[in-house]
Amino acid sequence: MELKRNIITVYETSSTMDLAKEFSKIFLPPFIVRAFIQTKGRGQYERKWQSTYGGLYFTEVLDLNNILGFSTFLSIPILRVLKRFVEKVKVKWPNDIVIEKKKLGGILVEKSNFTYAGIGLNVQNDVKDFVNFSVSLKDFVDIDKETIFWAILEEESNLIDKFFENGFKNFKKEYEENLAILNKKTKVNLGYKVVEGVVVGVGNSGELLLDENGKITDIFSGSIVNFYE
């Protein structure tokens, strides 16, 4: 699937997630909505996503039957591109893009009539207000957000058909090789309780495999509270 063909770019919007939903009333997917600034950028768990000029903010609108593993898959083209510039970029399950423990980017997937996959990356924007837990590519390398944007779309266009055919499992090994929490003692919030164990990998659908004192649990949904060296 070619993702570079239909792109709507605006200078500023509240959130490309919402604008993409508006455009889906008049355009058929696949298409992408991109903005240079978001005034109400949002992340997972209703967190705010700081979206000042210089970052990369876009939402892909796709017509997918099955989204199992899709958001985890999406981290693969992003990792491949970012690692060309900063080798130590990793993924923190399920799809936080990190450098050491600091967040460089994130993915938000929302499903309604279509699948809306929002990607936010700190590229040339300043993250000084959030410096304790965020990081920007510009702190490591002088790189233009346009280069990153087009390279991600190119890489994803080349990989997405393989995801449609066989799901996430083809990407499992590459994902694990780049997983920041692999073999680390990790605390995971499941929403109704917090569990702790050692991450031993991911399953064929991108679920986290956590070893809790010898018992392996499959976690399909949750967020990492912390992990330890």
Please report, for residues 11, 55, 168, the alpha-carbon distance to residue 126 in angstroms, rounded to integers and kept in the order given: 18, 9, 33
CB of 200 to ligand BTN, least distance (A): 24
Report the candidate in 2, 136, 141, 155 with the shortest Cα–Cα distance to residue 81.
155
Nearer Cβ to ligand BTN (59/186): 59
Nearer Cβ to ligand BTN (95/198): 95
Nearer Cβ to ligand BTN (90/198): 90
CB of 211 to ligand BTN, least distance (A): 26
Contacts with ligand BTN by CB under 6 A lie at 15-17, 38, 41-44, 47, 49, 57-59, 96, 106-108, 118-120
CB of 142 to ligand BTN, least distance (A): 22
Nearer Cβ to ligand BTN (77/120): 120
CB of 80 to ligand BTN, least distance (A): 19
Please report, for residues 121, 192, 214, the alpha-carbon distance to residue 188 in angstroms, rounded to integers and kept in the order given: 24, 11, 17
Contacts of 76 (CB under 8 A, 6+ apart): 159, 171, 174, 175
Report the candidate in 221, 172, 130, 175 with the shortest Cα–Cα distance to residue 120.
130
